[in-house]
Amino acid sequence: MLISVVRHSIEYILFHRLKQLVPLSGFMNEFIAKGDYESFLAYCTAETKWVFIGERILHGKEEVRAYLKEFYQEPPVFDVEKSIEEGDFVMVTGEIRLRNKDGKYDHFDYCDIWRFEDGKMAELKAFVIEKQGLPLPSSE
């Protein structure tokens, strides 16, 4: 479940950062929604590295490709608290609500740090914490 949440926050960051770097609006969501992982991966460096703290590390496009095919499900609900961009880095914090297999939402806090290289995603470090035992918004 944690990996699923991180994946969705990745999608959000990539969409917003890449639409600044590439003159295509809305392409990221379309690629992922269609399962067009090859177009998505065209915006990753060959040696892209994704570090999911406490979970796993993905090295290169092949591992990212396998990850996307295995873990993509229904898009989550994002509440972005902060987005900071400096040079080749983008950091985003916020909350994610992701529907589980029982049809209910699981709630998470996240912080993603991206490093870009020549307009492509070179590295991700993702921190995600599930909210357990905390009062949830009344709408959930």
| Ramachandran assignment for 54, one of left (phi > 0), alpha (psi -120 to 50 degrees), beta (any other) | left
| Nearest of 54, 48, 37 to residue 3 by alpha carbon | 54
Model pLDDT, residue 29: 46
Question: What confidence score (pLDDT) does residue 45 get?
Answer: 94
Give the DSSP letter of residue 42: T
In whole angstroms, what is the distance from residue 117 CA to residue 73 CA?
Answer: 28
Q: What is the pLDDT of residues 79-127, one digit of tens each?
A: 788 888 888 888 889 887 777 778 888 898 989 898 989 888 899 998 9
pTM of the model: 0.69
Of 75, 102, 95, which Cα lies nearest the Cα of 137?
95
* Long-range CB pairs of 73-76, under 8 A, 24+ apart, other chains included: 73/4, 74/98, 74/99, 75/8, 75/11, 76/5, 76/8, 76/9
CATH number corresponding to 2-130: 3.10.450.50
19-53 residue pLDDT tens? 554 333 235 545 655 667 788 888 889 999 999 99
Q: Which of 99, 85, 132 is nearest to 8 (CA)?
A: 99
Q: What is the mean pLDDT of residues 2-20?
A: 55
